[in-house]
Chains A and B, each alone.
Chain A
Amino acid sequence: MTTQAVEKYHNDFLKEVEQNVEMGSWVKMCMQCGVCSGSCPLGPHWDHPPQEIFMMIRAGKREEVLTSESMWMCTSCYNCVVRCPRELPITHIMHGLANYAHRLGIAHKQNPTRRFATIFWNNIAKSGRVNELELSVRLYFMDGIVKGIKTGLAMLPVGLGMLKTKRLDPMGLVSHHGCKGKADIHKMLKKANELEDKRKGYA
């Protein structure tokens, strides 16, 4: 897929982003003012802040952009979106880039937000609604039993607090109800994925 994409777009990464990345057609509108980078709550943790990412896309730095951990720092706070003088939907472009890199299988493998986001979506796609206990357990144990027990113990007071105040279902692992129309959710998402693949050229 990677080579195919490169060939298809004749090394024109901007064109590839415009066609395949959510809101990618906005990238060329960036005027490099840097307000987005200065407005990001996790700004210091981005290897390349949004403004830089936009320039890198235009410079054809496909590999550097798609393997970067930068987009995975987005907390979806939308501060950049409301401050951008050109009104670029920056949050969505970052989500779009992360999703594209993830789907192509070239996103940063160990990035925790990538892994959590995957666990999260699989969690809701299963029953239609979030199973909070399963979500936390899967997250804590994603690096194996030993690390899981360590994280679990560190977070135990938080979990016990939630249990005590009836904000966590202790039976969540065995009896989560979710939607009645689980079959509908599965059917709907199957079709949605099929059309998404067609639209984005994954199929």
Chain B
Amino acid sequence: MTPEVPVLLVEDDASDFRLIQRAFGKLDRPVPMIRLSNGDEVVDYLAGIAPYENRAVYPIPSLILLDIKLPRRSGFEVLEWIRKQRSGLKRLPVVMLTSSRHSADINRAYDLGANSYLAKPDTASKLGQLASLVQSYWFSCNENPDLADGIAMRGFQG
């Protein structure tokens, strides 16, 4: 099943972004993807703050692929912010996708409520496998939560 709503990829490295985008784009059922490159943008996007107030153009994503090392707000801070929300947004599945294999980073991510932690593969073929696994796991196997709770109101107000 292909997600109707896009995946939000938060990645500051343009090369990594293009390779990840390519990997997801090459899947049998490509995953639509929105890219943001720093932590502040993610918070603005999810909160529906300008220029992201139009939910028709900037919908709440079904999944967020989140790097740790980001300009301004780090991936950890973004994750913390998401889990602190009172609306259904707090349930947004967050998959860390990062080059760090540090146990300190891994543990912290789970402590803050990450749903999964993936290390960026070294080769394009491994990245392709990963993209395929992410798609089948999150969009075929996994039962995703209701994120609209409390958000729709806000979206319409905007």
Interaction A to B: no
Which residues of B come within 8 Å of A, CB atoms? none
